[in-house]
Every structure is written in C-alpha cells, then in structure tokens.
Amino acid sequence: MEHILQKIKEYNRIIIHGHYRPDGDCIGSQVGLAEIIKESFPEKEVIITGETSDYVSFVAKPTILEDESLFKGALSICVDCATSERLSDKRFVLADYSIKIDHHIPVDDYGNYQYVDTTSPACAQIITEFYLKFKNELKLNKKAAEALYVGISTDTGRFKFDSVNSRTFQAAACLVDNGVDLGYIDNQLSVETLETLKLKGWCLSNFNVTENGFAYIKMTRDVIDSFGVSDEDAAAQVSTISTIEGCPVWAIFMDYPTEIRIRLRSRGPIINKLAEEYQGGGHAKASGAKLMSWDQLDGFLEKVDKLVKDYKENN
C-alpha cells in the first residue's frame, strides 16, 4: 500500500480502470479511489475510464476515455479485475506505470505492480483500508464514502456472505462516520421496476433443478424481451433462487448474441474451478463462465450436478 501511495504522489494524471459489465463494487471502487485522490491532492487530474452500470448509475456513469494521448505520462490503476482481458479499457499498457488492485483469485498478473487481497470480500474494502492506513495524509469525502459503501454492500450481498470479516465492518463503520446516508443507499439498491418484479415471478415459477440439487434459470432472449427488462436486471435474477433447501449451487444462464453467460453461485461447494473449465473464473462461491451455445448446456449440467452430489456425500 505504501508503494501505491508513493506512485499516486509521483504522478500528476491518474486514470482509473474497471472491468466490463461493471458491478457495484467495480464502480464503487473506481469512484471511491478517484474521490480520495481528488480530495487529498486537488492539483492532480483524476480520470475514470470504463463502462456504466444502470443499477449503480446513481453513484456515477463512467464512459470510456476518448483521448488516448492522456495515457502518456499517466499512472493507470485497474480495480476489481483479475485479468487484463476483462478490463473495459485495456489501454493501461499505454500508461507510464500501472497498478492492479483486486480481491479476486489472481489469474493474470497484469500491470507493473499488483496489490491483491483475496481475503477481502470487496475491492472497495481494500480501497477503504488504503484510506484508513494513510488517514493522516488522505481525505475521504461523502461521495467517496457512499461509493465505497455501495461497493462493499453489493459485493457482500448486504453484509451476508461468508466472505465478510470483521475488517468489513470496520471499513463500513469508517464510511458511515464519513457521511454515508444508509437509507438513501438502501433505497437506491432495493427499489425494483414493476417489469423486474414480474420477471422475478416468472423465475420463481420456471427455474429448474437437477437430480442432485443444482438450481438454474434459463434466461433466453425471448423471455428478456417479453418482460421488457434490461440485460442487467435480468442477470440480477440469479439471487431469486439462492435460498432453496437442498440446492447449494445455483446459476442463471443469460442468452447473449455471441455467448451464454453463466452467473454461478454457491453456499457450499467450491465452484471457481468448474467455471475455469468454461472460460470463466472468479471466487470460490461466486463465479462466472461462458457457454458458446445452448448445445453445451447438458454437459455443464452433468458436471455441476456431480459437483453437488460429491459435496453432499462428503458433508
């Protein structure tokens, strides 16, 4: 962390990158870090480059930086992204120096320097701890505190996942002390459109369960279109089937034009190894992967069903 602070001090322009299809932790970490640097070193130019997420657009709406010349002489910091391939703006290679700050199991050590803490349930927790470590030199404004709080609360399922540790609450306490409006954030994250709520009803009536207890939703394009919801809202339905007794692993299969994205979750077996077999990866209990067509579905179901069976036999 000392090295990161030293590099921030060294550079006048700092560009902060996130991953594609960003979530609350990605945007929260980008905005939180950007605001800490801006507030602490007002003379520095801080730019966020990346995609927007509708779900957390109340935090900020990033766009991809257009002027490529700005990378020259800059420091790039990439947050919440295990592989350079998943960055929405991969031009950190054009910067003078680049740093990766992440909490995923490392897949690709991109950048000149990596700070990875897999014991942190959210990248935003690492950024908050960075602030706490250098509290005498850094400043945290309300915007940074709210962005980081959104990051931590979304990546921990609102402080529920077993990846949460006492440091998570220490980080959250610091953010609340710095002005987070808890009611406002909860409202922003909880309110759903009528269309999304109706889609949730469809998911509850149409999910499938394999022989040994893998629950899944097949979110085909016609279903998404018929409910008139965004892909992001449709993909979020993975949590709708998270609490079924006897189903410790669950997923949503999202139909995209060039791939079927799998959002895989567990409250028992380790799933990231299976995800890696299907062009994916992630955390032990929250991973993502891909099928190239629906023809691959049966093969995947067989493997995940066996994983659940083995887990049940041994636990």
Query: What are the strands of the beta sheet with 113-116, ordered from one edge?
Result: 45-49, 13-17, 75-79, 97-102, 113-116
Full DSSP string of 23-83: -HHHHHHHHHHHHHHHHH-TTSEEEEES---STTTTT--------GGGGTTPEEEEES-SS
Of 62 and 288, which CB lies nearer to ligand AMP in the complex structure?
288
- Is the Cβ of residue 50 or residue 282 nearer to ligand AMP in the bound state? 282
Beta-strand pair 75-79/97-102: parallel
Comparison of 8 and 87: residue with beta carbon closer to ligand AMP: 87
- What's the rounded Cα separation, in Å, for the pair 17 and 39? 19
| Secondary structure letter of residue 279 according to DSSP | T
Residue numbers 22-41 binding ligand AMP by CB under 6 A:
23
| Shortest Å distance, C-beta 238 to ligand AMP | 7
Min CB(242)–ligand AMP separation in Å: 12
State which of residues 7, 200, 263, 285 lies at the interface with ligand AMP (CB under 6 A). Answer: 263
Task: Return the number of the residue (22 or 32) whose C-beta is nearest ligand AMP.
Answer: 22
3-state secondary structure of 289: strand
Q: Which is nearer to ligand AMP, 71 or 278 (CB)?
A: 278
Kindly state the number of chain residues that form the binding site for ligand AMP, as judged by CB under 6 A: 14
**Is residue 283 near ligand AMP by the rule CB under 6 A?**
yes
Contact 262, 290 (CB under 8 A): yes
Minimum gap (Å) between residue 160 Cβ and ligand AMP: 15
- Which sign, positive or negative, has the C-alpha torsion 113, 118, 122, 126? negative
Should residue 280 be labelled a site residue for ligand AMP when binding is judged by CB under 6 A? yes
Q: Which of residues 53-92 bind ligand AMP (CB under 6 A)?
A: 82
Between 174 and 247, whose beta carbon lies closer to ligand AMP?
Answer: 247
Strands 113-116 and 208-209: unpaired
> Hey, is 135 helix, strand or coil?
coil
Binding characters for ligand AMP, 220-259, by CB under 6 A (x = yes): ----------------------------------------
- Residue 7 has phi, psi (to 5 degrees) of -65, -40
**Could you tell me the smallest distance in angstroms from the CB atom of residue 272 to ligand AMP?**
8
- Residues that bind ligand AMP in the complex, under the rule CB under 6 A: 23, 82, 104, 263, 279-283, 286-290
